[in-house]
Amino acid sequence: MRHPKLGVVIGYSIPFIPSMLVNVAATDLKFSPPQLFSLCLTGSLVVSALYSFSGDALFKGNFRLLALLLVLMAALVTLVRVIHIDRKQAR
């Protein structure tokens, strides 16, 4: 993996990837406990913020915040695609 820390953050931020698999990958990459904690916290906070703020914005009718969150989600999807393209070029 060319970007192992980013891969672990994305692994923790995608809800349908079991955390156990991400923990095994992080253990194999030999991150220190403080590094692993910060990566887990970063990945979890991103998704938690998106879930909580987007639901709140949708129920309260705050479409400006909802649009901002949709742009943020699109940026995250674009980041994942850029990483995927980068990995293909590295092969």
d(C-alpha 91, C-alpha 77), whole Å: 22
| pLDDT one-digit tens code per residue, 21-40 | 888 888 888 888 888 888 88
Confidence of residue 13 (pLDDT cuts 50, 70, 90): confident
What the block records as the tokens of 2 is 């060319």
d(C-alpha 73, C-alpha 33), whole Å: 28
d(C-alpha 69, C-alpha 8), whole Å: 22
Residue 38 confidence (pLDDT): 86
Model-wide pTM > 0.75? no
